[in-house]
């Protein structure tokens, strides 16, 4: 069974406590998302790492106990629920000390919809980053073409500056952006399917995975 292909295969592997490969892949796939998610909810690095660890361990425990029902929602929603309760507990534990010192409380976590949106934004960012890494390391795309795209999209440089820096014409810079964006879309759609999330929210709703990937 190819664990990398679908979340279904990965979760099946997690049922076996001796399947280290499944645990390592699940951890690698979701830990960075959960850490970024917790940071974006207002936690410091150490606390964010603690939340990510506790969430992963708790999810696997509940899944092996048969408490995770995929028909009732996506895996990400289950992770968000676990992480949110962990962050609320952390906020409550720290609340008294902060009040005594006159400090402001952690970001409000009571709005479930907003918290879910923070997670989804971080998940999309992680998928796009993985797609760009795959494009760089596992495709035959000219490195200069990818560099031109990154300079335009991620560094916000003008077409004229990118063209001068890379010794390209303005037309070639625009063409590089279009080519990389198209290839990234293909990879993102496949990664979304492997994660078994909605196949490209940016495709079905008109939202794109990142600014600059448009036509």
Is 215 in contact with 177 (CB distance < 8 Å)? no
Burial of 28 (0-12, 13-18, 19+ CB in 10 A): exposed
- Mark 113-152 as b/e (b = at least 16 C-beta within 10 Å): eebbebbbebbbbbbbebbbebbeeeeebeeebbbbbbbb
Q: What is the pLDDT along the chain (215 residues), one digit of tens a residue?
A: 444 556 777 888 888 889 998 889 899 999 999 999 999 998 999 999 999 999 999 999 998 888 877 666 788 889 999 999 999 998 888 765 554 444 444 566 888 888 999 999 999 999 999 999 999 999 999 999 999 999 999 999 999 999 999 999 999 999 999 999 999 999 999 888 776 654 333 333 333 333 335 44
Residues 6+ apart with CB under 8 A from 170: 159, 160, 163
> For residues 194, 199, 203 and 204, what is the CA-based torsion angle, rounded to 10 degrees?
-170
pLDDT of residue 212: 38
Closest alpha carbon to 115 in 151, 159, 76, 58: 76
Q: What's the CA gap between 70 and 67, in Å, rounded?
A: 10
pLDDT of residue 37: 95
- Mark 46-85 as b/e (b = at least 16 C-beta within 10 Å): ebbbbbbebbbebbbeebeeeebeeeeebbbebbbbbbbe
Is 205 in contact with 198 (CB distance < 8 Å)? no
The DSSP string of 41-55 is TT--HHHHHHHHHHH
Residue with tokens 């934004």: 121
Q: What's the CA gap between 104 and 91, in Å, rounded?
A: 11
pLDDT of residue 93: 82
Residues 6+ apart with CB under 8 A from 101: none
């Amino acid at each position: 069974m190819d664990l990398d292909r679908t979340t279904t295969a990965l979760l099946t592997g997690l049922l076996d406590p001796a399947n280290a490969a499944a645990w390592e892949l699940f951890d690698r796939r979701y830990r960075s998302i959960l850490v970024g998610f917790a940071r974006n909810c207002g936690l410091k690095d150490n606390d964010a790492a603690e939340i990510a660890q506790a969430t992963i361990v708790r999810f696997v425990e509940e899944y092996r106990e048969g408490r995770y029902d995929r028909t009732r929602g996506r895996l990400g929603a289950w992770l968000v629920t676990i992480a949110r309760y962990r962050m609320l507990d952390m906020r409550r534990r720290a609340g008294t000390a902060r009040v005594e010192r006159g400090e402001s409380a952690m970001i409000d976590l009571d709005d479930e919809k907003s918290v879910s949106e923070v997670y989804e934004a971080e998940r999309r960012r992680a998928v796009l980053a993985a797609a760009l890494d795959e494009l760089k390391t596992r495709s035959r795309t000219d490195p200069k073409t990818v560099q031109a795209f990154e300079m335009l999209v991620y560094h916000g440089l003008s077409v004229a500056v990118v063209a001068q820096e890379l010794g390209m014409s303005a037309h070639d810079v625009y063409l590089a952006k279009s080519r990389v964006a198209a290839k990234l879309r293909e990879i993102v759609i496949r990664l979304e399917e492997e994660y078994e999330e909605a196949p490209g929210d940016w495709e079905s709703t008109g939202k794109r995975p990142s600014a600059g990937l448009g036509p």
